[in-house]
Amino acid sequence: MLIKEKISQAVGILKEFNIDCWITFTRETAINGDPTLPFLVPADLTWHSAFIITKEGDTRAIVGQYDKKMVEDTGAYKTVVGYIEGIKKPLTEYLSELNPVSLAVNYSRDSEIADGLTHGMYLTLLDILTGINYQDRIVSAEKIISALRQRKTKSELQHIKKAIRETEKIFSLVAAYITPGMSEEQIAQFMRKEVKKAGLDLAWDFQVCPAVFSGPDTAGAHYNPTKRKVRPGHILNMDFGVKVNQYCSDLQRTFYVLKPGEKQAPPEVQKGFDTIVESIERSRIAMKPGVQGIAVDTLCRQVLKENGFEEFPHALGHQVGRHAHDGTALLGPAWEKYAQKPYQPLEEGMVFTLEPRLTVAGYGVATVENMVVVTSTGTEYLSTPQKKLLLIRSRKKKASRRKR
């Protein structure tokens, strides 16, 4: 089971960072669950719950009595304690026995994946720890959680690869379906029906998955498909992903809609697309363990500048896992909103998107999003990289037969 796999991995991470103890503290998780919980427990919890892992390999869950059996069935914890009246007594008894020098809890200024402890729960935990004089032992669990999420196991990679294959199948189907005159909404509806037919889930919110943008002057990203028609002379791009066993894909593909008499895209459109392909490949080659994400992002932007295009207004790539946007490390610039994420070194097992974009004046936005995994020596494609601009032709109408 994945939970056992990840908890075992967490023990090694605690040893690596020399942190004595990590505690995930939560309640009513269906309302406000910690982002780390899916790695620790298979379902929602009701009462105050604590999941404690130590660098010595001890694993303990302290949960409400009615959640005890569910947690025990994971086989991931050496001890599962069920309480009735309150968590304070069993938690303080166990922590007093451990006597950890460092106690990592789930808060972070910079990383949303490691900031699952609400302020109210932090105050509750602080009161409990103050009672045993451990309040000054608290440290952020950001390093632990980041490593746990970004170092993908074989099982996690298998799920992601399956999600990518399913996404690519639907991209192939929609490429054969699109014809000038269709609306962005029609294209999106076709793709969603294929997702349902395959028994899959969308990787993100239904309203904007897939995102479909045709021609110039569109929202460009993170917007729902509209009644806008696909026209000859448009660049058409799509952002789409599915979920397999709770793991996501996130891919983008770019098309050009041929005008009557055209057999290939105009030179400026082709140049824009080729620049995107070049920037992705050069970025991938630059990605190795230990390299900071900002260095890769800077290289990609330089390729666009060299070819006469403006920089894209977002990060080059984000991590993918249980969410389409996952992980702390980012392939991004030194912008305020990204905090320290671009300065995190790449590690083996990280799965990233590479998704630069550029505008071709009068035609639309060219963008490709591929997925890659960092290996011990470099970076490999997980998705099949789009190397050729996909061309959409008008279909000839079949002549109708008249009865005689």
CA–CA separation, 100 and 129 (whole Å): 12
pLDDT value of position 401: 47
Give the closest residue to 324 by CA, choosing from 208, 223, 187, 179.
Answer: 208
Specify the DSSP element, H or E, that contains 357.
strand 357-360
CATH for 2-149? 3.40.350.10
Radius of gyration of the chain (CA): 25
End-to-end, the C-alpha distance of the chain in Å comes to 68
Give the homologous superfamily in CATH for domain 151-392: Creatinase/methionine aminopeptidase superfamily (3.90.230.10)
* pTM of structure: 0.94
pLDDT value of position 220: 79
CA–CA separation, 325 and 321 (whole Å): 7
Note the pLDDT tens digit of each residue in 83-107: 999 999 999 999 999 999 999 999 9
Distance, CA of 16 to chain centre: 25
Q: How far is CA 349 from CA 5, 110, 147, 151, 164, in A?
A: 15, 21, 10, 4, 16
Using DSSP's 3-state secondary structure scheme, residue 272 falls into helix
* E strand intervals along 163-206: 201-202
Q: Which residue has the tokens 């060299």?
A: 306
In terms of residues, how long is the chain? 404
Question: Could you tell me if 364 and 221 are in contact, meaning their C-beta atoms sit under 8 angstroms apart?
Answer: no
Question: Could you tell me if 215 and 235 are in contact, meaning their C-beta atoms sit under 8 angstroms apart?
Answer: yes
Give the closest residue to 76 by CA, choosing from 66, 64, 61.
Answer: 61
Rounded mean pLDDT, 239-267:
97
| pLDDT of residue 279 exceeding 90 | yes
Give the closest residue to 293 by CA, choosing from 372, 366, 368, 357.
Answer: 372
Note the pLDDT tens digit of each residue in 364-388: 999 999 999 999 999 999 999 999 9
Assign 397 a pLDDT band (cuts: 50, 70, 90): low
210: preceding bond cis by omega (within 30 degrees): yes
| pLDDT of residue 361 exceeding 70 | yes
Q: How far is CA 161 from CA 254, 319, 359, 404, in A?
A: 21, 14, 30, 56
Residue extents of the structural domains in the chain: 2-149, 151-392
CA–CA separation, 330 and 313 (whole Å): 15
Assign 222 a pLDDT band (cuts: 50, 70, 90): confident
Specify the DSSP element, H or E, that contains 14.
helix 2-17
pLDDT value of position 404: 41
CA–CA separation, 134 and 157 (whole Å): 39
DSSP per-residue letters across 287-329: --TT-BHHHHHHHHHHHHHHTT-PPPSS-SEEE-SSSSSEEEE
pLDDT value of position 221: 84
Using DSSP's 3-state secondary structure scheme, residue 390 falls into strand
CA–CA separation, 332 and 66 (whole Å): 45
pLDDT value of position 399: 46
Rounded mean pLDDT, 386-392:
97
| pLDDT more than 70, % of the chain | 98
Q: Bridge partners of 82?
A: 63
Q: Bridge partners of 360?
A: 364
